[in-house]
Amino acid sequence: MNYYSLNNRQNKSTFSQAVIKGIASDKGLYFPEKINALPKEFFDKIEYFSNEEIAYQVIKQFVGNEIPEQVLKVIIKETLSFDFPLVKLTNNNYILELFHGPTLAFKDVGARFMSRCLGYFSKENSKKTTVLVATSGDTGSAVANGFYKTKNVAVVILYPKGKVSHIQELQLTTLGENITALAVDGTFDDCQAMVKSAFIDDELNTIQLTSANSINIARWLPQMWYFFFAYKQLKQKDKDIVISVPSGNFGNICAGLLAQKLGLPIKHFIASNNANDVVTNYLKNGAYSPKPAQQTISNAMDVGDPSNFIRIKELFDNNIDNLKKSLSAFSFTDDETSKEIQHIKKEYKYIVDPHGAVGQLGLNNYLKNNPNTIGISLETAHPIKFLNVVEPLIKETIKIPEHIAAILDKTIVNKKISTYNELKQYLLASEKIVSLSE
């Protein structure tokens, strides 16, 4: 399967090139050249397939013959070694829990799939690869965990200092080994801008850099699986299903829209946003105006210029009227989010994290005007990752999962930077250390 750059359709790469490079040389995001719908029988029988079988059927056209079938099946099996349960709140309101992976956020799936693909490709190519990643909190920990001790791969994580939760910071900064955390004096958008600059900096040509942000196709594409797993558990004959996705960089929801292109019978998607409302405004008035990120209590969605939105536009041939048939967007304040956390606890005895609460708000907003519909919202992280926000609201202590308890006593190890030049000097210096020691 080939991928073209969204900056120039003539600029094409194979799956492996796109995974290794992350972003095309002209700075465009990669996009699959062909998208083939899956056969109707697949959806008719989906409840009889295991998650692994579904995942293989969904992803295989995007990988093509670049990873042998048996290897790809092992990668999928390792990636999906946990559950994706659907929890019922009411007859038409469900929550799909995506936080049962090692770092308690949905990004584990993409990070684990990508690290294994890259591991496979770097067997043939014995050169060291440096994975450079900007995080608003959850990406970094999922990537660090997914790549921890992977041979020939160094991971450099940029996170906005003071703008991630304490548990997130511990997850980013306490692994050591091949994982380095850089605390940036700025916002997530600043971190992302630094990563983008590094990729187009000719002076860093000697380093094989790749990105593990959701712009990397090996992180983006496997996110389609969640939507199939949701459908498998809640197949309906007489009602339409809609899915609400708490969105920041719009990778997850873009994967959902791609799943719809493959024929998955999801009628509509709801992009649920916090105060960062670029897409909500775009769907309202047709003007896409990026803004600086605003800090909120759902910090993994504090994105002012969502990278993946350009892929969503491409999926709908840049036609906003077509896009609106499949996508609505709503934006909510921190105050509304806090009240929703309390409401869900009181009404259903269920604890949502701030991102999941935004997802519920968006879903309920949609269901109000579309009553004959069944809704699912995605719970993208475990509430313990945001205990400082959630515990005071529900006035209850959240039980700490064992593998998180283990990191609470560890010491944060990071390096503080504030400019792109500092990042560049760090990368050049660490490359020298590697070549001296080889």
Binding site for ligand PLP (CB under 6 A): 105, 107, 138, 214, 246-252, 300-301, 355, 380-381
- The DSSP letter of residue 353 is -
Tokens of 265: 């019978």
Residue 270: strand pairing partners: 244, 328
Nearest distance, CB of residue 186 and ligand PLP, angstroms: 18
Q: For residue 107, indicate whether it is catalytic.
A: yes
Residue 374: strand pairing partners: 241
Nearest distance, CB of residue 141 and ligand PLP, angstroms: 9
Question: What is the C-alpha separation between 280 and 285, in angstroms, rounded?
Answer: 9
Nearer to ligand PLP, 138 or 190 (CB): 138
Nearest distance, CB of residue 167 and ligand PLP, angstroms: 12
Nearer to ligand PLP, 198 or 301 (CB): 301
- The DSSP letter of residue 201 is -
Nearest distance, CB of residue 399 and ligand PLP, angstroms: 19
Residue 94: strand pairing partners: 88, 376
Nearer to ligand PLP, 107 or 112 (CB): 107
DSSP run (H or E) holding 246: strand 240-246
DSSP run (H or E) holding 200: none
Alpha-carbon distances, residue 352 vs 87, 164, 168, 363, 430 (angstroms):
12, 18, 17, 14, 41
133 phi and psi, to 5 degrees? -140, 135
Q: Answer left, alpha or beta for residue 286, where phi above 0 means left and psi between -120 and 50 means alpha.
A: left
DSSP run (H or E) holding 14: strand 8-14
Q: What single letter denotes the amino acid at residue 32?
A: P
Active-site annotation holder among 107, 232, 345, 385: 107
Nearest distance, CB of residue 256 and ligand PLP, angstroms: 10
Nearer to ligand PLP, 208 or 364 (CB): 364
Tokens of 5: 């750059």
Nearer to ligand PLP, 134 or 427 (CB): 134
Residue 86: strand pairing partners: 96
β-strand pairing of 129-134 with 153-160 = parallel
Nearest distance, CB of residue 104 and ligand PLP, angstroms: 9
Nearer to ligand PLP, 256 or 375 (CB): 256
What b-and-e string marks burial along 240-274, b requiring 16 or more CB atoms within 10 Å of the CB? Answer: ebbbbbbbbbbbbbbbbbbbbebebebbbbbbbbb
- The DSSP letter of residue 183 is E
Task: Give the three-state DSSP class for 30.
Answer: strand
Nearest distance, CB of residue 429 and ligand PLP, angstroms: 30
Nearer to ligand PLP, 158 or 427 (CB): 158
Shortest Cβ contact with ligand PLP: which residue?
A: 138
User: Among all residues, which ones are annotated catalytic?
Assistant: 107
